[in-house]
Structure 1
Amino acid sequence: MASRSFGRITVTTPDLDDPGLYLSLVETLENPRGIVQDFAYGDADLRSLALTGVQLITGRVSDVRAERVRFESLNLHGVEIIGSELGSLHWSEGRLTRVHFRDCRLMGATLDGVVLDDVLFEECRLDYATVRKVRAGGPVAFVGCAFTEGTFTDCDLSGAVFSDCGLRLTEFGGGRYRGVDLRGSDLSRIRGVANLAEVRIDPGQHADLAQALVGELGITIGDD
Structure 2
Amino acid sequence: MTSRTFGRASITLPDLGGGYLSNVTSLESGRGTVQDFNYADADLRELDLANAHLITGRIANLRASRVQLIEVRVDSVEFDGCDLGNLQWVGSRLSRVVFKNCKFMAGNLSGLALDNVLFDSCRLDYSTFEKLRATGPPAFTHCVLTESTFTGCDLGAAVFDDCTLRDAEFGRGTYKATDLRGNDLTAIRGIGNLTKVVIDRAQQIELTQALMAELDITFGDDLDDPSLA
Work out whether the TM-score is over 0.5: yes
Output the amino acid matched with 1:128. Y
Shift of 1:222: 4.1
* Counterpart-to-counterpart distance in 1, 2:40 and 2:218: 52
Counterpart Cα distance in 2 of 1:167 and 1:222: 30
Name 1:15's counterpart in structure 2.
15
Alignment partner, residue 52 of structure 1:
50
Counterpart residue number, 2:227: none
CA distance in 1, matches of 2:184, 2:140: 14
Cα deviation for residue 139 of structure 1 reads 1.1
2:158 is aligned to 160
| Code of the aligned partner of 1:154 | G
Does structure 1 residue 107 correspond to structure 2 residue 116? no
Report 1:117-196 matches (<5 A). 117-196=115-194
Instruction: State the identity %.
Output: 54
- Partner-residue secondary structure (3-state), 1:73: strand
Q: Tell me the distance in 2 between the aligned counterparts of 1:141 and 1:222.
A: 42
Letter in 2 for 1:3: S
**Which amino acid in 2 is paired with 1:42?**
A
Structure having the higher Rg: 2
Matched to 2:20, the amino acid is: Y
Tell me which residue corresponds to 1:41: 39
Alpha-carbon separation, structure 2, partners of 1:163 and 1:15: 23
CA shift for structure 1 position 15: 3.0
Aligned-partner Cα distance in 1 for 2:175–2:62: 32
Q: Distance in 1 between matches of 2:21 and 2:185?
A: 41
| SS at structure 2 position matched to 1:214 | helix
What's 2:65 paired with?
A: 67
For 2:152, the aligned partner's letter is D
In the alignment, is the contact (CA less than 8 A) between 2:17 and 2:56 conserved in 1? no
Structure 1 counterpart SS, 2:56: strand
Name the TM-score, length of structure 2 as normaliser.
0.95
Q: Cα deviations across residues 7-30 of structure 1 (Å, max 9, x unaligned)?
A: 111000013262xx5100000000
Report the secondary structure of 1:54's partner residue: strand
SS of equivalent to 2:61: strand
Aligned equivalents of 2:78, 2:220: Cα separation in 1: 51
Task: Provide the aligned C-alpha RMSD in A.
Answer: 0.9
C-alpha distance after superposition, 1:58-79 (max 9, x if no partner): 0000000100000000000000
Please give the alpha-carbon distance, in whole angstroms, between the structure 2 residues aligned to 1:220 and 1:66. Answer: 46
CA distance in 1, matches of 2:195, 2:145: 20
In structure 2, the partner of 1:5 is 5
Query: How far apart in 2 are the matches of 1:140 and 1:73?
Result: 19
* Equivalence for 1:210: 208
One-letter identity of the residue aligned with 1:204: A
User: Greater shift after overlay, 7-16 or 48-57?
Assistant: 7-16
Is residue 228 of structure 2 the alignment partner of residue 220 of structure 1?
A: no
CA distance in 1, matches of 2:200, 2:41: 41
Distance in 2, matches of 1:106 and 1:129, equals 7
Distance, in Å, in 2 between the alignment partners of 1:10 and 1:82 is 20
Residues paired across the two proteins, number: 222
Q: Comparing both structures, which one devotes a greater share of its residues to helix?
A: 2
TM-score, L = length of structure 1:
0.97
